[in-house]
Every structure is written in structure tokens, then in C-alpha cells.
Amino acid sequence: MMPPFAVRAQQQSVPVIGYLSARSAEADGPMLAAFRQGLADTGYAEGREVRIEIRFADGQYNRLPALMENLIEQRVAVVTTGGGLVSAAAAKAATATIPIVFNIGNDPVRSGLVESMNRPGRNLTG
């Protein structure tokens, strides 16, 4: 039996995490496995408590803006990036409101992603 309409309308959908990478699924496989395990270890089972939308540019950096726009259309709650500075920069250019978690080997201050290490500013953190 279906619950009354008012009850169904109040049910929340699971939050969506966006994952944007300049690399390929094969290259990011170990990182994604660790990411999923970290979520699971903290009580976020993929498919139950959270959904992950994954987009890969497969080394074609010019695809990153469109892939990020697609994640925004999916109404992601947060974006995490893989594939270095180029992915993080594409995410930053696309939104000033969705939180972005990046992982880069460069200095994020010198790279222009954040204002300072102590106070990153805006919506980015690494």
C-alpha cells in the first residue's frame, strides 16, 4: 500500500556527490575505490545514504566545463575533483555556490584556486 501523498512528498531523496576528473575511469579507479570506501566507513552507503554522479574527461580537458555543467544540472550537493588542477579549475569556474573538494599536487594558493591555506575563501577546499 502506498503512503498518503503528503507523506510521500515529505520523503527526502539522497544527497548527490559529483565527481569530476580530467582523467579516465581506469586511471581514477583506485582513487574512486578509496573515496567510496571512505564514504562507507563513515556511514554513507552508496545508493542508500548518498548517490555519486561521476564524469570523466578522458584527457580531453576541453570537455570539463560541459561535464561540470552536467553535474550542476544533476543538483549535486558537493563536487570532488580528480585529475589535478585542471579539474579543480573547471569546477571553480562553473560555480561559486556548490562546495568543491579538490586534490592537487600543486600549491593551491599559487595556482589561484584559494586565497590562503588558512582561509580558502569561496566554495573550495582541498
- Give the pLDDT confidence of 31-58 residue by residue, as tens digits: 999 999 999 999 999 999 999 999 999 9
Residue 32 or 112, more confident: 32
Query: Given a cut of 90, is residue 103 above it in pLDDT?
Result: no
Query: Given a cut of 80, is residue 105 above it in pLDDT?
Result: yes
Max intra-chain CA distance, the chain? 58
Grid cell in block for residue 122? 569561496
Q: With left for phi above 0 and alpha for psi between -120 and 50, is residue 44 left, alpha or beta?
A: beta
* 115-120 contacts, C-beta under 8 A, 24 or more apart: none
Query: Given a cut of 60, is residue 98 above it in pLDDT?
Result: yes
pLDDT tier, 2 (very low <50, low <70, confident <90, very high otherwise): low
Q: Distance between CA 23 and CA 32 in Å, rounded?
A: 12
Residue 35: other Cβ atoms inside 10 A: 19
| DSSP 3-state of 101 | strand
pLDDT tier, 5 (very low <50, low <70, confident <90, very high otherwise): low
- The rounded mean pLDDT for the chain is 89
Domains detected in the chain: 14-125 (3.40.50.2300)
Identity at 15, one-letter amino acid code: P
Residues forming beta bridges with residue 79, ordered by sequence position: 18, 100
Query: Given a cut of 90, is residue 126 above it in pLDDT?
Result: no
